[in-house]
């Protein structure tokens, strides 16, 4: 669907935050916002859903704990219950304190690494990814809000955005393979 | 200004009265002679419970058992006398544990308060008066502790085994070489002098910081805040040294043959988590009564994070101490855990569940840390868990296998709970609940996370 988007550029995060609230008040659809640094409260102003990455991390941690338990139980108790320095290898519980450091580290390892990989996958980041940057200045000191024109009147939108404090407003043809 | 509701006053007094009755009953229940012990144990045999105790007490409980073990193993009378001493120690230990538990809440709060000052925390000044209210229990607790230590020092009770002069007398048959070797540190006069220095220093800081904090309310400049900042920094240095020594003196010396280097930190961690839990609970209570208008969800969230974090820190130290000793299994160190695992299995491992597993699962979720009843519920479990922690540290060294949680323990717990509530909430009525001139109080009012 070839639609048009308006790119409105701001140079202050406070003005941007205020503009986001106004734009949403007018029920215009914000496609995306590009900022050089995290703007505190932006996701709330945009009405984005909370991240669930902490929940995935917790579950990955449980996986790591399970891996550590199964691994140590198999190696040290089931497969070859050797007497090593008098440690009781009769059951997992009896020798558990010795396994706790491994259980802990595996839990942290799985929770951390799988969460990071989840983050990369969900945000579509990888080494040779083509950067999706509509304006190079957004990595330095400018803030860019992309608003879907939809069926709205472009002139009216431009005027409205100008009033929210936008420095530059440009109309962009949105190609299909843009993203 | 907060006014003490009559209902709360009555509530506290009822707890004190019931507790006092329990304490007195506990002392009356303790056997006076070995024949009473025999009777008690005979009546216990019916449910097969006393049998376990008798066997268990026979095989270990070494910290006090040196005397009876040293003689002849077949000596029945010595065994009964051993049990008699344990049973006579029980009401004293129960009193000591409960008084120490509430004392450490007040002291932990004082340390937390000092940290907030020294770190110039921006979130907590709206809670300063709550913390000051809790630390108002410190002078009361100090007097009780010093009285209990004096009673032990004058041999009114025998919960501190090493205080027995027979043990350090080489000509006596009960001479204990290990304790005698430590007697340059563990002797009654020096022990009491140290106690006075510790308590004096802590109470001095508490008095100075409270006075400066009240003066700051009407101040024109930040003079009193700066004084408190300096006092807090100095107190924290003093505190960490004295707290460590206090834990050797007042807790570790119950097992005078045993030693552990991270013990001071371990006691400190338990102290901090209990203190922060109590701060959170008192804050939530006062907030629910409409007294703390500037306290919001985020303050509770922060306190709950501290509860969560310090619970894990406590567990880390508990496990480090346990695992190092379990792993190397050196006989002179490992008896400490052997007695606890054999005679105190449920409290010893139960407290790990209460102090670690439960709070970690309950307070992991960010949203739950803002739900007041979640914090209160977790707080109750944490406090109960840390009472049992102190119980586990003290009881095995004083009563050995003859332990139980009954009238003496609950009586002492009730009495000190009532006293704590009474003193803390009376102190809260003495000053406005907002430190209004603190330089960080504005930030604290608008704190959100």
Q: What is the DSSP string of B327-392?
A: HH--HHHHHHHHHHHHHSHHHHHHHHIIIIIHHHHHHSSTTGGG-HHHHHHHHHHHHHHHHHHHHH
pLDDT given for residue B80 in this prediction: 85
Is residue B205 within 8 Å of residue B235, measured between CB atoms?
Answer: yes
Q: CA B104, CA A24: separation in Å to the nearest integer?
A: 53
- The first and second tokens of residue B393, run together, are 């540290």
Torsions phi, psi of B365, nearest 5?
-75, 130
Residues 6+ apart with CB under 8 A from B216: B224, B225, B228, B435, B437, B438
Read off the pLDDT of residues B87-101 as tens digits, 9 standing for 90 and up.
889 999 999 999 999
pLDDT given for residue B68 in this prediction: 43
- The first and second tokens of residue A114, run together, are 């799988």
Decide if B313 touches A, using CB distance below 8 A. Answer: no
**B338 to chain A, minimum CA–CA distance in Å?**
14
User: Could you say which of B323, B364, B366 has the minimum Cβ distance to residue A97?
Assistant: B323
Is residue B439 within 8 Å of residue B225, measured between CB atoms?
Answer: yes
pLDDT at B82 over 90: no
pLDDT given for residue A3 in this prediction: 78
Q: CA B283, CA B402: separation in Å to the nearest integer?
A: 39
List chain B residues with CB under 8 Å of A85. Answer: none
pLDDT at B58 over 60: no
Q: CA A100, CA A111: separation in Å to the nearest integer?
A: 16
Substitution target in A55, A62, A97, A105 with the highest count of B β-carbons within 10 Å is: A97
Q: CA A104, CA A109: separation in Å to the nearest integer?
A: 9
Going by their DSSP bridges, the two strands A29-34 and A168-174 should be labelled as: unpaired
- The first and second tokens of residue A152, run together, are 């709205």
Least confident of B52-66, B155-169, B407-421: B52-66
pLDDT given for residue B55 in this prediction: 41
Residue A148 is given by DSSP the state E
pLDDT at B60 over 70: no
Is residue B3 within 8 Å of residue B429, measured between CB atoms?
Answer: yes
Decide if A58 touches B, using CB distance below 8 A. Answer: yes
Nearest CA-CA partner of B370 in B447, B296, B264: B296
Partnered with residue A78 across adjacent β-strands are none
Mean pLDDT, rounded, of chain B: 90
Decide if B373 touches A, using CB distance below 8 A. Answer: no
Cβ within 8 Å, pair B366-A54 = yes
* Interface predicted TM-score of the whole assembly (ipTM), two decimals: 0.89
pLDDT given for residue A152 in this prediction: 84
- The first and second tokens of residue B227, run together, are 């004084």
pLDDT at B70 over 90: no
Decide if A117 touches B, using CB distance below 8 A. Answer: no
pTM of the model: 0.90
Q: CA B3, CA B291: separation in Å to the nearest integer?
A: 10
pLDDT given for residue B75 in this prediction: 66
Read off the pLDDT of residues A143-156 as tens digits, 9 standing for 90 and up.
999 998 888 888 88
Decide if A62 touches B, using CB distance below 8 A. Answer: no
Q: CA B325, CA B328: separation in Å to the nearest integer?
A: 5
Nearest CA-CA partner of B392 in B426, B359, B352: B352
pLDDT given for residue B86 in this prediction: 87
Residue bearing the bigger pLDDT, B349 or B62: B349
Confidence of residue A176 (pLDDT cuts 50, 70, 90): low
Decide if B43 touches A, using CB distance below 8 A. Answer: no
Torsions phi, psi of B261, nearest 5?
-75, -30
Cβ within 8 Å, pair A100-B319 = yes
Q: What is the mean pLDDT of residues A53-63?
A: 96
List chain A residues with CB under 8 Å of B329. Answer: 86
The CA-CA-CA angle for residues B161, B34, B47, to 5°, reads 100
Q: CA B113, CA A11: separation in Å to the nearest integer?
A: 42
Chain B residue at shortest CA distance from A58: B364
pLDDT given for residue B67 in this prediction: 44
Q: What is the mean pLDDT of residues B70-82?
A: 68
List chain A residues with CB under 8 Å of B327. Answer: 97-98
Partnered with residue A9 across adjacent β-strands are A144, A168
Residues 6+ apart with CB under 8 A from B293: none
Residue bearing the bigger pLDDT, A104 or B72: A104
Partnered with residue A168 across adjacent β-strands are A9
Q: CA A28, CA A156: separation in Å to the nearest integer?
A: 12
Q: Is A49 exposed, middle or buried (0-12, 13-18, 19+ CB in 10 A)?
A: exposed
Read off the pLDDT of residues B230-286 as tens digits, 9 standing for 90 and up.
999 999 999 999 999 999 999 999 999 999 999 999 999 999 999 999 999 999 999
Is residue B428 within 8 Å of residue B286, measured between CB atoms?
Answer: yes
pLDDT given for residue B44 in this prediction: 61
Q: Is A135 exposed, middle or buried (0-12, 13-18, 19+ CB in 10 A)?
A: middle
List chain B residues with CB under 8 Å of A58. Answer: 364
The residue whose two tokens read 């303050």 is B299
Confidence of residue B65 (pLDDT cuts 50, 70, 90): very low
Q: CB atoms < 10 A from the CB of B386, how many?
A: 26
The CB-side HSE value for A116 (13 A sphere, CA atoms) comes to 6
pLDDT at B401 over 90: no
Torsions phi, psi of B308, nearest 5?
-60, -50
Q: CA B271, CA B34: separation in Å to the nearest integer?
A: 38
User: Could you say which of B322, B364, B366 has the minimum Cβ distance to residue A97?
Assistant: B322
């Amino acid at each position: 669907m070839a639609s048009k988007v308006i790119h409105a550029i701001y140079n202050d995060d406070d003005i941007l935050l205020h503009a986001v609230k106004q734009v949403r008040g007018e029920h215009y659809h914000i496609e995306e916002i590009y900022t050089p640094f995290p703007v505190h409260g932006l996701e709330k102003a945009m009405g984005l859903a909370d991240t669930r990455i902490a929940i995935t991390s917790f579950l990955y941690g449980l996986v790591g704990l399970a891996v550590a338990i199964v691994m140590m139980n198999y190696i040290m108790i089931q497969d070859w219950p050797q007497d090593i320095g008098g440690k009781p290898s009769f059951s997992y519980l009896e020798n558990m304190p010795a396994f706790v450091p491994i259980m802990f580290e595996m839990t942290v390892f799985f929770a951390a690494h799988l969460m990071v990989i989840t983050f990369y996958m969900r945000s579509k980041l990888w080494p040779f990814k083509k950067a999706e940057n509509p304006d190079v200045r957004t990595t330095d000191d400018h803030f860019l809000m992309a608003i879907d024109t939809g069926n709205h009147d472009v002139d009216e939108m431009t005027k409205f955005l100008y009033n929210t404090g936008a420095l530059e407003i440009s109309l962009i043809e949105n190609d299909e393979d843009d993203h | 200004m907060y006014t003490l509701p009559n209902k709360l006053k009555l509530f506290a007094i009822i707890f004190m009265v019931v507790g006092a009755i329990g304490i007195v009953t506990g002392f009356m229940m303790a056997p006076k002679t070995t024949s009473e012990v025999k009777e008690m144990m005979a009546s216990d045999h019916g449910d097969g419970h006393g049998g376990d105790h008798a066997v268990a007490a026979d095989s270990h409980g070494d910290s006090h058992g040196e005397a009876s073990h040293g003689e002849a193993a077949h000596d029945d009378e010595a065994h009964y006398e051993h049990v008699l001493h344990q049973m006579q120690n029980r009401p004293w230990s129960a009193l000591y544990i409960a008084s120490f538990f509430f004392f450490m809440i007040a002291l932990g709060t004082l340390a937390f308060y000092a940290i907030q000052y020294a770190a110039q925390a921006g979130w907590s000044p709206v809670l300063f008066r709550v913390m000051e209210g809790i630390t108002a229990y410190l002078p009361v607790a100090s007097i009780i502790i010093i009285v209990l230590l004096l009673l032990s020092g004058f041999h009114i009770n025998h919960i501190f085994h090493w205080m027995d002069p027979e043990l350090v007398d080489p000509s006596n048959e009960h001479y204990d070489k290990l304790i005698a070797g430590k007697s340059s540190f563990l002797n009654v006069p020096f022990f009491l002098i140290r106690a006075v220095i510790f308590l004096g220093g802590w109470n001095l800081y508490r008095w100075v910081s409270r006075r400066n904090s009240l003066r700051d309310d009407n101040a024109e400049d930040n003079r009193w805040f700066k004084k408190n900042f300096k006092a807090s920094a100095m107190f924290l240095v003093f505190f960490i040294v004295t707290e460590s020594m206090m834990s050797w003196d007042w807790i570790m010396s119950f097992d005078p043959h045993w030693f552990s280097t991270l013990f001071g930190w371990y006691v400190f961690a338990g102290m901090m988590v209990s203190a922060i839990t109590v701060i959170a609970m008192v804050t939530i209570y006062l907030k629910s009564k409409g007294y703390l208008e500037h306290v919001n969800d985020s303050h509770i969230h922060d306190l709950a994070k501290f509860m969560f974090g310090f619970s894990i820190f406590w567990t880390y130290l508990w496990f480090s101490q346990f695992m190092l000793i379990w792993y190397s299994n050196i006989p002179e160190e490992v008896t400490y855990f052997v007695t606890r695992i054999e005679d105190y299995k449920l409290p010893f491992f139960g407290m790990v569940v209460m102090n670690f597993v439960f709070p970690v699962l309950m307070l992991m979720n960010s949203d739950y840390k803002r739900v007041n009843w979640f914090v209160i519920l977790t707080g109750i479990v944490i406090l109960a868990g840390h009472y049992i922690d102190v119980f586990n540290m003290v009881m095995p060294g004083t009563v050995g296998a003859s332990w139980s949680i009954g009238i003496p323990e609950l009586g002492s717990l009730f009495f000190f709970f009532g006293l704590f509530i009474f003193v803390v909430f009376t102190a809260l009525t003495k000053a406005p609940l907002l430190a209004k001139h603190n330089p960080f109080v504005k930030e604290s009012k608008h704190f959100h996370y």
